[in-house]
Amino acid sequence: MREINVYLRAARQLAQKLDHEPSVEEIAVLLDKPIGEVERMLGLNERIASMDMPYGKEADRPLLDTIPDENVLDPAEPIKNVRRISLETR
């Protein structure tokens, strides 16, 4: 994350200086980095999202609430087991 901030800071700095959004090439020149590395780092920034950010049509619940917990049992599972045992004992 700290490394991404270096690239973002350079982009903001150039945007103020050049009065337009800097190109990847301009950022690469400022940082003396290969263009591919600048593209990769800026691409990583686009994919970062907070698990607490609102998500959904109404954005009324956090993103974390939409990820299933694989460790939680299906609430219907005990009922299925009782029925299966009941049928086996008949």
For residue range 3-47, what is the model confidence (pLDDT) as tens digits?
A: 889 999 999 999 999 999 999 999 999 999 999 999 999 888 776
**The predicted structure's pLDDT at residue 7:** 93
**The predicted structure's pLDDT at residue 58:** 66
Query: Going by C-beta distance under 8 Å and a sequence separation of 6 or more, which residues neighbour residue 27?
Result: 7, 10, 11, 14, 33, 38, 42
Q: What is the pLDDT of residues 64-87, one digit of tens each?
A: 777 777 787 777 777 777 767 766
Residue from 25, 23, 48 nearest 36 by CA: 25
DSSP alpha helix (H) spans, 1-90? 2-18, 24-31, 35-47, 77-88
